[in-house]
């Protein structure tokens, strides 16, 4: 009986969510900001992927908040783990040990490709970092721990520091956090070396997020 | 339009299955499949950045954390 009432409540909630989503996607009351982004984003920043230009240039301060929240989460998990050795979960089979030798550099290369081309193709720093962390998760499943926690924390802290220094340089030079106009030339759209300082920022965000997630998985495995 | 309806039906089926499985291991794998179907839905609705983020975090890292937690809990309960 309780499960039946629960099912009816879930259906009512689903109906209201659907109605809200349809209303939000059809509203055209004040399209000024949408039209500004559609027309001026490529010429302002030189980035072919408009989502990247919004995340790093127009709303750069929110990206600082997101990086801070990720760092706090990794720090919280790191405080809970004690300094024991990593434990093996189970002895793994021959197939996955051999497949790991081919898969690990391929996954790592794919993750690096996604955040280096963050300003040209969909993706960016956070997505590429999560893919790098899943390559290190494969290492954890097998039982070969080649990435020690101290080195991962060192890379993560260093990349976070460089990201904040780049944002601060934008603040000093232009008055906006992660400002883009004066520091490096904009170049032509759709080339790899274009869009000022945005690819460099995404490289450091990608390294930071990758080693952060690796640190979280290592710390969870240690207890 | 027909692909959207098909993806929604498969998503509803998989979500129902992930609740109804009795074995914890099968429920975790079904959660990974739900995350994968949500990512395909994002791609149908033309948001590729969100789709890449969902498939890399929801279907790889979350499942990894859940499996590590299940292994530790099993070892603790057996003792």
pLDDT of residue A112: 92
pLDDT of residue A185: 62
pLDDT of residue A87: 60
Q: Chain B contacts of A220, Cβ < 8 Å?
A: 65, 68-69
Averaged pLDDT, B50-75: 89
Q: What is the mean pLDDT of chain A?
A: 82
Q: Name which residue leads in pLDDT, A57 or A104.
A: A104
Start-to-end C-alpha separation, chain A: 41
Alpha helices in chain B (DSSP H): 2-20, 24-44, 48-56, 62-78
DSSP A71: H
pLDDT of residue B54: 93
- The domain ranges of chain A are 46-222
- The domain ranges of chain B are 2-78
Q: Which residues of B26-61 are buried (b: 16+ CB within 10 A; e: fewer)?
A: ebbebbbbbbbbbbbbbbeeebebbbbbbbbbbbbb
> Percent of chain A scored above 90 by pLDDT?
18
Among chain A residues, CA nearest to B16:
A7
How many Å apart are CA A23 and CA A6, to the nearest integer?
26
How many Å apart are CA B43 and CA B52, to the nearest integer?
9
Q: Chain B contacts of A17, Cβ < 8 Å?
A: none
Nearest chain A Cα distance for residue B57, angstroms:
6
pLDDT of residue A88: 60
Distance of CA A207 to the CA centre of its chain: 9
CA atoms within 13 A on the CB side of A145: 17
B53/A126 Cβ within 8 A = yes
H or E segment to which residue A7 belongs: helix A2-25
- A132, A210 Cβ separation under 8 angstroms: yes
How many Å apart are CA A123 and CA A111, to the nearest integer?
10
| B74 in contact with A, Cβ within 8 Å | no
Q: Chain A contacts of B68, Cβ < 8 Å?
A: 89, 140, 217, 220-221
| B20 in contact with A, Cβ within 8 Å | no
ipTM entry: 0.84
Residue entry with tokens 């051999």: A98
pLDDT of residue A86: 57
Instruction: Please report the sign of the dihedral spanned by the C-alpha atoms of residue A28, residue A32, residue A35, residue A37.
Output: negative
pTM over 0.90: no
- The residue among B32, B66, B68, B72 with the most chain A CBs within 10 A of its CB, best to mutate, is B68
> Percent of chain B scored above 90 by pLDDT?
58
Classify residue B1 by burial, with Cβ atoms within 10 Å: 0-12, 13-18, 19+: exposed
Nearest chain A Cα distance for residue B25, angstroms:
15
pLDDT of residue A109: 94
Q: Name which residue leads in pLDDT, B44 or A119.
A: B44
Nearest chain A Cα distance for residue B59, angstroms:
10
């Amino acid at each position: 009986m309780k499960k039946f009432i629960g099912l009816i409540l879930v259906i009512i909630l689903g109906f209201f969510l659907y109605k809200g989503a349809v209303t939000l996607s059809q509203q055209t009351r004040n399209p000024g900001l949408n039209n500004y982004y559609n027309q001026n984003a490529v010429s302002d920043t030189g980035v072919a992927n408009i989502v990247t230009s919004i995340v790093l240039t127009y709303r750069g301060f929110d990206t600082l908040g997101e990086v801070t929240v990720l760092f706090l989460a990794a720090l919280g998990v790191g405080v809970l783990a004690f300094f024991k050795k990593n434990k093996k979960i189970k002895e793994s089979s021959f197939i996955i040990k051999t497949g790991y030798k081919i898969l690990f550099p391929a996954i790592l290369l794919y993750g690096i490709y996604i955040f280096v081309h963050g300003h040209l193709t969909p993706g960016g720093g956070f997505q590429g970092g999560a893919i790098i962390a899943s390559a290190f998760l494969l290492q954890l499943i097998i039982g070969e721990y080649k990435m020690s926690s101290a080195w991962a924390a060192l890379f993560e802290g260093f990349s976070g520091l460089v990201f904040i220094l780049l944002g601060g340089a934008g603040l000093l030079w232009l008055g906006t956090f992660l400002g883009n106009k004066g520091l490096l030339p904009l170049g032509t759209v759709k080339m790899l070396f274009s869009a000022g300082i945005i690819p460099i920022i995404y490289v450091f965000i990608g390294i930071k997020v990758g080693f952060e997630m690796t640190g979280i998985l290592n710390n969870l495995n240690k207890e | 339009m027909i692909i959207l309806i098909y993806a929604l039906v498969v998503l509803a089926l998989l979500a129902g299955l992930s609740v109804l499985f009795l074995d914890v291991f099968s429920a975790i794998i079904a959660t990974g499949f739900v995350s994968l179907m949500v990512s395909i839905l994002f791609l149908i609705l033309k948001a590729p950045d969100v789709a890449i983020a969902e498939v890399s975090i929801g279907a790889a890292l979350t499942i990894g954390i859940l499996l590590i937690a299940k292994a530790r809990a099993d070892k603790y309960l057996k003792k």
